[in-house]
Structure 1
Amino acid sequence: MKANRFILISGCSSGGKSTLLSALQTKGYAVVEEPGRRIVEQETKGDGSALPWVDMRAFARRAVEMARSDLAMAERQSGPVFFDRGLIDAAVALEHSAGVSLRETLGDRQYYSSPVFLAPPWPEIYVTDNERPHDLAEATAEYERLIVGLGSLGYETLILPKTPVKERVEFVLDALS
């Protein structure tokens, strides 16, 4: 594995990220769950004000805080840690919703290893659910913002192939070796 052991899996909603990360976890790798899904779960149990479809700015700010906390907790783990989305995703959302620049949120630090793996839009498997009610067009626009943001931060990106999860796992591990 590369020197920076924090590996980011990002990209389009419903592009197979969580399935990939679950398979990596089954292989014994440490995985950090997506901040956004955890926030939605918490908010729907409470007053629901920091939901992306209610108050995207509040949601993005919470995601930034949670992702920072995730990184701090991951520092205590040994070996590689895979992140299902993370601080960059949250910073891109904050920039889009509140106009706060990526550099203002992130500074000059590279929090994750390069390359970052991106799940592309995959219409054949795209589904919505209670935690992700936005449509494919919105998800694709988010994906495009992530590509631009990652590039502006100096990250190399690798697009995950639209293949079965076993092949995706091999693709990721081969790229990191």
Structure 2
Amino acid sequence: MSDRFFVVTGGPGAGKTSLITELARRGFHTIPESGRAIIREEVARGGDALPWADRRAYAERMLERDLSAYSTAQTLTGPVIFDRGIPDTLGYLTLCGLPVPPHLAAAAKAARYNARVFLAPYWDEIFTQDAERKQTSAEAEATCAVMRETYTALGYEITELPRADIVTRADFVCKQLAN
């Protein structure tokens, strides 16, 4: 477990990546979301490990990349902010109604983050779809709920981010990290 590893989770389109970008600008080590990178790679190579094609393969790729990122983050000093964590893959499979393989459940229990997890709540005013984010607003809300349930079931404490501009959100996170 690493008390200096912090996760920002939630549904798609809730401002997680914008917050992570601002925290990186402020000098924090950050780890980008694996899902979008995998989608770009799979589309570029004509692969099918995609959320709209082979969800199990997509989940395995996310787990592989997230385990690697977790390992790499061990070499960094100070707080490290993750745009989603390993439990997000578990939540993704749950949301899709797919079974969670034992190795994924074990990874989510073994590779622990700080007990405080930041949740970006669904926020209709900023939610948008794009080529990589095809979920509807209802799916985004459901994803947020599943991530809250998944992290809570794993013993994490949820700290909900305010529905506010990025600077205010980043200030909120910085204040929480100082406590």
Aligned pairs, how many? 175
Q: Which residue of 2 aligns with 1:152?
A: 153
Q: Which residue of 2 aligns with 1:61?
A: 60
Q: How far apart are residue 31 of structure 1 and its match?
A: 0.7
Aligned-partner residue type, residue 63 of structure 1: M
Q: State the TM-score, normalizing by the size of structure 2.
A: 0.92
Aligned-partner residue type, residue 135 of structure 1: T
Q: Which residue of 1 aligns with 2:6?
A: 7
Alignment of 1:15-164 (within 5 A): 15-97=14-96, 98-100=98-100, 104-106=105-107, 108-109=109-110, 111-164=112-165
Task: Provide the C-alpha distance between the structure 2 equivalents of 1:11 and 1:58, rounded to a whole number of angstroms.
Answer: 22
Task: Provide the C-alpha distance between the structure 1 equivalents of 2:108 and 2:12, rounded to a whole number of angstroms.
Answer: 26
Could you list the runs of 4 or more consecutive aligned residues of structure 1 that deviate by over 2 angstroms after TM superposition? 94-98, 101-110
Task: Provide the C-alpha distance between the structure 2 equivalents of 1:107 and 1:81, rounded to a whole number of angstroms.
Answer: 18
Q: CA RMSD in A?
A: 1.6
Q: How far apart are residue 107 of structure 1 and its match?
A: 5.7
> Identity percentage over the alignment?
35
Task: Provide the C-alpha distance between the structure 1 equivalents of 2:101 and 2:143, rounded to a whole number of angstroms.
Answer: 16
Q: Conserved in 2, the CA contact under 8 Å of 1:11 and 1:120?
A: yes
Deviates more, 1:104-113 or 1:78-87: 104-113
Classify 1:169/1:150 alpha carbon distance in 2 versus 1 (closer, same or farther; 3 Å).
same
Q: How far apart are residue 110 of structure 1 and its match?
A: 5.4
Aligned-partner residue type, residue 91 of structure 2: V
Q: State the TM-score, normalizing by the size of structure 1.
A: 0.93
Q: How far apart are residue 8 of structure 1 and its match?
A: 0.2
Unaligned stretches of 5+ in structure 2? none
Q: Conserved in 2, the CA contact under 8 Å of 1:6 and 1:83?
A: yes
Task: Provide the C-alpha distance between the structure 2 equivalents of 1:55 and 1:105, rounded to a whole number of angstroms.
Answer: 22
Unaligned stretches of 5+ in structure 1? none
Aligned-partner residue type, residue 99 of structure 1: P
Map Cα deviations across residues 10-49 of structure 1 (whole Å, 9 max, x no partner): 0011101111111100011111110001100110101230
